[in-house]
Amino acid sequence: MKKLLLFSLVTFFQLYFTQILFEPYVNHSYQSYTATLKGNGTIYYTTDGSDPTINSASGYQNVNLTISSNTLVKARLKNSAGQLSDNIESKNYYYGELPSKTVYFKPPTNTNWNTNNVCVWPSRIDPGTLVDYTIAQSMINADCEGWYKYTYPFYKAGFTFSNCKFSYLDPLHQSTPFIETEETLFYDFTEGPISNPPACLLAVSDPSKKVAVVKIFPNPVQDYVNIESDKNFIAYEIIDENGKLISSKDFKGSKIDISNLKTGVYFVKLKTLSNETNIVKFIKK
């Protein structure tokens, strides 16, 4: 239901605040399918990764494309007044098998964690899906210095690790923030995302050896959120747990002032110059 609601909201905002609507929202299939672009005017588009120009393929108000391989569709609109938009919009469409990537987690050494019950809550972000993954999955012991692992097919996904106590009201419940990644993730409950995993983890055959490193601390936080990452972020948004945008600003330095926020759960969405985003959850005291 959450993904269905998100799909409805995405459609609403695309219709009212962008020029081109990309359909379908679920952008993956194991069989050939049709992607549709809609806009109020002439749509110029490309499927080879290049930016569309006035000389690119085009269609009036509606473009149907057959997807039979992974395809990045870029498009821009020329409206009824003959004005060509400066804004280039894009969407990835996926076909066939998704790459399986492994996430690793090291629980703390305290009595709230039963090493036979280490759980992960996966949520696929890209490709989009209407299925809301809210079921905890058991992690497998990686036989490496207390680490556990879980393999999941995705291009972009988010994960929360927990001690399998399913209620936040349970006094023994412990979990991590929601961590978004496009690559292999190494997450230590005590340290957060790390870039120096032990050699025994790197000895396995993974599709990707890149590490998603975005650390936020302290958490919970009172006045300032500290961001530590190997990525160069240029802007950020603060979003509450209901999906409402609270603030949007340029990101300079390594701290974000959240002293004016009310107590509650929030997400910080960090953006790079190439428009890559990372979303991390934090709690305001």
pTM value is 0.61
Q: Which residues contact 219 (CB under 8 A, 6 or more apart)?
A: 177, 282, 283
3-state secondary structure 6-36: HHHHHHHHHHHHCCEEEECCCCEECCCEEEE
* 166-186: pLDDT as tens digits: 766 777 788 898 999 888 889
Report the top-level CATH class of 214-285. mainly beta
* Topology adopted by domain 97-212: Immunoglobulin-like (2.60.40)
* 3-34: pLDDT as tens digits: 545 545 444 444 444 489 999 989 999 999 99
The ranges assigned to domains in the chain are 2-95, 97-212, 214-285
Can you say whether the dihedral through the CA atoms of 252, 256, 260, 264 is positive or negative? positive
Residues in the chain: 285
Single-letter amino acid code for the residue at 140: I
Q: How many CA atoms lie within 13 A of 133 on its CB side?
A: 17
| CATH code of the region 2-95 | 2.60.40
185-188 vs 100-106, strand pairing mode: parallel
